Structure 1
Amino acid sequence: MKKLIALLALASVAHIAAAADVVGNAKAAENKVSMCIGCHGIPGYKASFPEVFPVPMLGAQSAKYIEAALKEYKEGTRKNPTMRGIAASLSEQDMADVAAYYSQQKK
């Protein structure tokens, strides 16, 4: 039993360490942000589907903020059907890359 507990503890530490190893690559995100531009790249930062609503500006936002927001959309903590669908398709590496890309952009 002690071996099982030790093994489970080691596995959880390894999982945490693996998650911490995800480093965003802005260059890799250049092919991933096309789905973001449809709403977040519109002048005035407003989307028109299914109704006109404001969307946040992503350029110059903190990478940690963007990554956390994407994870919350994926988990369903943040509510937006469009963002939920997009975030659901992203891996942790994709999220880190997109966050790195937008954090390096100017407003």
Structure 2
Amino acid sequence: MTSVVQPMDQGVIKNLKHFYRRHLVQTLLTDSLEKNTFSKIDILQAARMFHRTWGQVSQTTIANCFKKAGFAKNSDQNPSEVLKKMLLLHLMDGKQQHLKNMLMWT
């Protein structure tokens, strides 16, 4: 049920975890082979790895997750167009909420 309500659960997070773990293992193995010890990874390094692996998640994966959740009615749409429309809707919703908040305080 959660994956229907939260489209990110339908594959984006799984995909991101896959890329992150692969990058983490490669980093640890490379360091252990070079230094003959396991190196520690601090929070900054983990955040940088996460940032790099997020770039590996494709727009198609993200768009497919939202399609499966029922947000995209036309399956022939270009994934980047779907993402642009969703971003626009999100921004518009944020502006409406901002206006409501401003009107409440006036």
Band the TM-score falls in, shorter-chain normalisation:
under 0.3
Q: TM-score, normalised by structure 2?
A: 0.28
Q: Which has the higher contact order (CA 8 A, sep 6+)?
A: 1
Greater share of helix: 2
Q: TM-score, normalised by structure 1?
A: 0.27
